[in-house]
């Protein structure tokens, strides 16, 4: 199984290298380990995260693409769909099948037709449009809903921090 996963990851890396999505760089940490990737995501334009450069890592299971990778930001983040420890919580990264909590449909969750590129583009969309109905960070979700100005100030502080300012 790991051989199939490795071939798939190598093909996805080649495709990302040839035609990278705007504002996203991603690839294996080393050529010896294609199961751990690093990514650099630019904050989406016209959002409070615009201008930020957010490093992240993806760790792929040996049965990829049957199961999704785990993704975490390596910098401070304050967002309704990012746990305080940096782990990303979006539907596309949830195990395939029915949601035991009944919140998501199986079509929103991981499937083998997804790709690293789709994951990263979904994360960019998530930064632009948080889902505050299913928060990973309750404090960020509450602030997003109840005090948008304070949320924006916090996000802009993080953007400056990612730039070393």
Structural contact between residues 143 and 154, judged by C-beta atoms closer than 8 angstroms = yes
- Give me the catalytic one of 88, 89, 90, 119: 89
Strands 24-30 and 53-59: unpaired
75 is catalytic: no
Distance CA 57, CA 126 (A): 16
Q: Radius of gyration (Cα) for the chain, nearest Å?
A: 16
Structural contact between residues 36 and 58, judged by C-beta atoms closer than 8 angstroms = yes
Catalytic residues: 89
């Amino acid at each position: 199984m790991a051989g199939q996963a490795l071939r798939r990851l190598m093909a996805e890396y080649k495709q990302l290298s040839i035609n990278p999505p705007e504002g996203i760089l991603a690839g294996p940490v080393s050529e010896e380990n294609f199961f751990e990737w690093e990514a650099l995501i630019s904050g989406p334009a016209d959002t409070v995260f615009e201008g930020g450069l957010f490093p992240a890592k993806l760790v792929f299971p040996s049965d990829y693409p049957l199961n999704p990778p785990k993704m975490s930001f390596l910098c401070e983040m304050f967002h309704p769909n990012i746990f305080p420890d940096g782990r990303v919580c979006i539907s596309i990264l949830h195990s395939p099948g029915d949601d035991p909590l009944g919140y998501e449909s199986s079509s929103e969750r991981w499937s083998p037709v997804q790709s690293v590129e789709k994951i990263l583009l979904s994360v960019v969309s998530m930064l632009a449009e948080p889902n505050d109905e299913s928060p990973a960070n309750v404090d960020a979700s509450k602030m997003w809903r109840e005090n948008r100005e304070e949320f924006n100030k916090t996000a802009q502080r993080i953007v400056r921090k990612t730039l070393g300012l």
